[in-house]
Amino acid sequence: MSQSGIIGAGILAVGLGLLINLSIHKIDEGHVGVYYRGGALLSTVSDPGFHFMMPFLTSYRTVQTTLQTDQVKNVPCGTSGGVMIYFDRIEVVNKLDINAVYDIVRNYTADYDKTLIYNKVHHELNQFCSMNNLQEVYIDLFDQIDENLRVALQKDLITMAPGLTVQAVRVTKPKIPEQIRKNYEAMEAEKTKLLISIQKQKVVEKEAETERKKAIIGEQAIYNATKNRCCF
């Protein structure tokens, strides 16, 4: 074989190897693959493992189908009284059914969680804040936010994206203006002092009641002893 033929064969081998390398891709366990050709989503959904595709013409994205946690951070929220607060982190535990992957990706792209979870969390929290004052959001109703947000998210997903399930929601305590926070801490300190004072008063009253009962018992014993002496 001539030198030019050897060089040509080498180039062909390298090109073929590169083509094969670009054709092979891996889908990790707990994920599936979706494919695009010319920007159009194909109906193929691949399972975990190695797969082939047409390089340059076809691209792919992986989609998680196991339990995952999306974190929505720094959500601004205005209360009904006009106070601006911030939820530092909201965790949404969700799971996408493998049979729903194609429809959800087709309707909302492979980044479906931005529309169905992130944007929805912002919307629901802002609605909640706008209908309640700071006291209700920060103290009175805070323990209900997790479950109420989960229910609100799931209610929309039933119609918008069947197959995507919200398992749980965890909301951190919102950040409030520093001066207001100090006022709340002062109020909590006063409440604690009051509770301690009430408990001390109860202890004093209990001790007084015990002493009173002892005195009555003592008086009754003296009376009984005196009565018995009179009878003999």
Task: For residues 70-75, give the mean pLDDT.
Answer: 95
User: How many angstroms separate the Cα of 126 from the Cα of each of 58, 65, 87, 214?
Assistant: 41, 29, 11, 62
Task: For residues 49-63, give the mean pLDDT.
Answer: 84
User: Given a cut of 80, is residue 25 above it in pLDDT?
Assistant: yes
Residue 206: predicted pLDDT: 79
pLDDT band (50, 70, 90) for residue 214:
confident
Q: Strand order of the sheet with strand 68-78?
A: 68-78, 84-96, 164-171
SS3 30: coil
d(CA 63, CA 103) in angstroms, rounded, equals: 12
Residue 29: predicted pLDDT: 94
> Which domains does the chain possess?
3-64 (no CATH), 68-176 (3.30.479.30)
User: How many angstroms separate the Cα of 58 from the Cα of each of 51, 116, 142?
Assistant: 12, 27, 48
Q: Distance from first CA to last CA of the chain, Å, rounded?
A: 144
Residue 208: predicted pLDDT: 74
Q: Which residue has the higher pLDDT, 50 or 101?
A: 101
How does the average pLDDT of the chain come out, rounded? Answer: 84
Q: What percent of the chain has pLDDT over 90?
A: 53
Q: Which residue has the higher pLDDT, 16 or 121?
A: 121
Q: Taking the complete model, does pTM exceed 0.85, yes or no?
A: no
Q: What is the SS3 assignment for 135-188?
A: HHHHHHCHHHHHHHHHHHHHHHHHHHCCCEEEEEEEECCCECCHHHHHHHHHHH
**Burial of residue 94, with CB atoms counted within 10 A of its CB: 0-12 exposed, 13-18 middle, 19 or more buried:** buried
d(CA 134, CA 139) in angstroms, rounded, equals: 8
